[in-house]
A and B are shown apart, each in its own frame.
Chain A
Amino acid sequence: MAEAQNIPVGSTTAGQIAVAAESTVATRMSAPPSFDVQDFPVPHGREEEWRFTPLERLRGLHDGTAVATGEGVKVAVEAPEGVVVELVDRDDPRLGRAGTPVDRVAAQAYSAFEKAGVVTVPKETVLTEPIRIAVHGEGGVRYGHQLVELGAFAEAVVVIDHTGDAVLAANVEYILGDGAKLTVVSVQDWDDKAVHVAQHSALVGRDASFKSVVVTFGGDLVRLHPRVSYAGPGAEAELFGLYFTDAGQHQEHRLLVDHNTPHCKSNVAYKGALQGESAHAVWIGDVLIEAKAEGTDTYEMNRNLVLTDGARVDSVPNLEIETGEIVGAGHASATGRFDDEQLFYLMARGIPEQEARRLVVRGFFAELVQQIGVADIEERLLAKIETELEATV
């Protein structure tokens, strides 16, 4: 059903709005969700969920040949007072509640991690400083698991910062108690060779608000799968993303919002800029409104700005509605290019070429950057955009 398209520059995808008796979001996966890697066949590349991903660049994460090195990837957690930070065993009952791995690499990560990080913000604890989780690669291979749980009416901002060189497969869980507010900023600022595949599963409690900001710059291959489902009515989720895909990079963001509960909201906005030969960005936006999810209000959007020739975007919005009793549902996807006429116009006003490109790209990202709400990350992001633009293509 959900035919993906390679979008020529300047065109707009029509996307899919399906009213389905059976969920295509679920059925097009090659196996049902499972915690056990053995339940998934080794992908060969033609599966719906793998067909955009260059498997040969996964460094064996998908076929069981990537062996964890035990060291070479460091995880450091810095948390304000009142937060409980633990390292727990595989059998800890708190793990695996936000979502089940939906593809082979996520299941591999779940089957192979040794210890899981658990960060707990007790109920009614309102943090004024962010929790920072630094994942720094020094050439190692790692299977990771991280849980962030907020008790009822707790409020927190979590920054997960990925730097260095690593081969990393991970599951990250976010569990929000009733009325809790969580903002998570996940920054993928990897070195050029890094490979990072992760599933982010959020379970949003009654009247709780979840905001995810995904910022992807680096890496050879980054494939993230942010997913949201709801544990009670009145909850809302905002999923924002920014990516800057350079020559040779593959950056894939696959989102799913499962409206499984009445009267919940979701808003998805991802924007990407691409430059250089073989830069490849993939965005899959699945929104499922289940039959019982009356009163749902959802919107999803993806925009891409292609700065040079040779870059490729695949953008596939997919909205599946099983009930008509909703407040609103919409989606949009567009890919445009920074064209020579814009450049000429700005330069004809005395603005040097680099500055002109910077103006346009900064403007393109501005509304999303403002959503981050963590000052040092916003500044770093703007600085990063400048650096990317100065890089020779």
Chain B
Amino acid sequence: MATLEIRDLRVTVEADNATKEILKGVDLTVKQGETHAIMGPNGSGKSTLAYSLAGHPKYTVTGGTVTLDGEDVLAMSVDERARAGLFLAMQYPVEVPGVSVSNFLRTSATAVRGEAPKLRTWVKEVKEAMERLNMDPAFAERNVNEGFSGGEKKRHEILQLELLKPRVAILDETDSGLDVDALRVVSEGVNRVRETGEVGTLLITHYTRILRYIKPDYVHVFSGGRIVESGGAELADKLENEGYEAYAKHDVVDTKGGASA
């Protein structure tokens, strides 16, 4: 059973000629079939966690470990992590001019599966996945993310999630910028993948709205670069009613702790 284990993860970023620690010791275990929601205010480091796990070069890991079934994820390059079964649905997917969606998807599936999918079954597979996400077939001939609306970009991310069948999916604010209809379509896509029971899901969000569609097994509150509280789905209800204010003081404590450390 696939298990992602994050232990005492510390990450810094270079900004304005200074090194800033963003993640200050994150501990989290995500097992296959489980869904973990990570919630927290802006600037708490949620997205840094997502990008660090995927291996974005902007972030420097200064301490801790990340393993996937015991394999050292931090020692892997970005593409190796993806082929090992990590998937990051990005908050701001990148435009790639001159590369069509169909070419991109096939190249990516070939890389992740280790062999080129058979053309006939592949075309059908993509077509059906696109239909389920209410995507126009003409979409496949457009350039990756070029001129896509916010909703189209997110559907395209979930399309990849469905086709690449990762072992651990990290969804970074997939709900942001979506209207209710798009949110429903995208959530259904995520749920189809979850229902296979073969993926561990790390759902990063600022809002509780998406949790009405995607029911988490665990909810973690992220503040000041670490998880400050964990609980079941009921924790989301508490956040819905009370907001993040109760956790703001953790930031204060944390800053002091950091200064004296």
Binding site for B on A (CB under 8 A): 336, 340-342, 344-353, 355-356, 359-360, 362-364, 366
Question: In the bound complex, do residue A360 and residue B79 qualify as a contact, i.e. CB atoms below 8 Å apart?
Answer: no
Chain B interface bracket (under 10, 10 to 19, 20 to 34, 35 or more) = 20 to 34
Question: In the bound complex, do residue B83 and residue A350 qualify as a contact, i.e. CB atoms below 8 Å apart?
Answer: yes
Which of B55, B95, B107 sits near A355, CB closer than 8 Å? B107
* Pairs of residues from A and B, 10 with the lowest C-beta to C-beta distance, nearest first: A363-B98, A350-B111, A350-B82, A349-B108, A347-B78, A345-B94, A350-B112, A347-B79, A363-B99, A364-B98
The CA of A249 and the CA of B100, in the complex, are separated in Å by 31
B160 within 8 A of A: yes
B133-184 contacts to A (CB < 8 Å): 143-144, 160, 164
Binding site for A on B (CB under 8 A): 54-57, 77-79, 81-83, 87-88, 90, 93-100, 103-104, 107-108, 111-112, 143-144, 160, 164
Closest Cβ neighbor of B54 among chain A residues: A348
Question: In the bound complex, do residue A359 and residue B90 qualify as a contact, i.e. CB atoms below 8 Å apart?
Answer: no
Question: In the bound complex, do residue B164 and residue A345 qualify as a contact, i.e. CB atoms below 8 Å apart?
Answer: no
Closest Cβ neighbor of A366 among chain B residues: B98
Residues of B within 8 Å of A363, CB to CB, are 96-100, 103, 143
Question: In the bound complex, do residue B96 and residue A346 qualify as a contact, i.e. CB atoms below 8 Å apart?
Answer: yes
- Extra inter-chain contacts (10) besides given A348-B55, A349-B164, CB under 8 Å: A336-B97, A340-B57, A344-B54, A345-B94, A346-B96, A349-B104, A351-B82, A359-B104, A363-B143, A366-B98
The CA of A341 and the CA of B58, in the complex, are separated in Å by 10
Q: List 17 interface pairs A-B (beta carbons < 8 Å), by A numbering.
A: A340-B57, A342-B95, A344-B54, A346-B96, A347-B82, A348-B87, A349-B164, A350-B164, A352-B111, A353-B79, A359-B99, A359-B103, A359-B104, A359-B107, A363-B99, A363-B143, A366-B98
Task: With A344-B56, A345-B90 as known contacts, state yes or no: A351 contacts B79, CB within 8 Å.
Answer: yes
Most buried by B among A350, A352, A362: A350
Residues of B within 8 Å of A341, CB to CB, are 94
Residues of A within 8 Å of B57, CB to CB, are 340, 344
Question: In the bound complex, do residue B93 and residue A345 qualify as a contact, i.e. CB atoms below 8 Å apart?
Answer: yes
Interface of B is mostly: mixed
Question: In the bound complex, do residue A360 and residue B96 qualify as a contact, i.e. CB atoms below 8 Å apart?
Answer: yes
Residues of A within 8 Å of B144, CB to CB, are 345
Question: In the bound complex, do residue A360 and residue B54 qualify as a contact, i.e. CB atoms below 8 Å apart?
Answer: no
Residues of A within 8 Å of B78, CB to CB, are 344, 347-348
The CA of A353 and the CA of B83, in the complex, are separated in Å by 13
B148 to chain A, nearest CB (A): 13
B255 to chain A, nearest CB (A): 30
The CA of A349 and the CA of B144, in the complex, are separated in Å by 13
The CA of A364 and the CA of B146, in the complex, are separated in Å by 14
A365 to chain B, nearest CB (A): 8
Residues of A within 8 Å of B93, CB to CB, are 345
Residues of A within 8 Å of B111, CB to CB, are 349-352, 355
Closest Cβ neighbor of A365 among chain B residues: B98
Which of B88, B99, B107 sits near A348, CB closer than 8 Å? B88
The CA of A92 and the CA of B4, in the complex, are separated in Å by 80
The CA of A346 and the CA of B107, in the complex, are separated in Å by 9
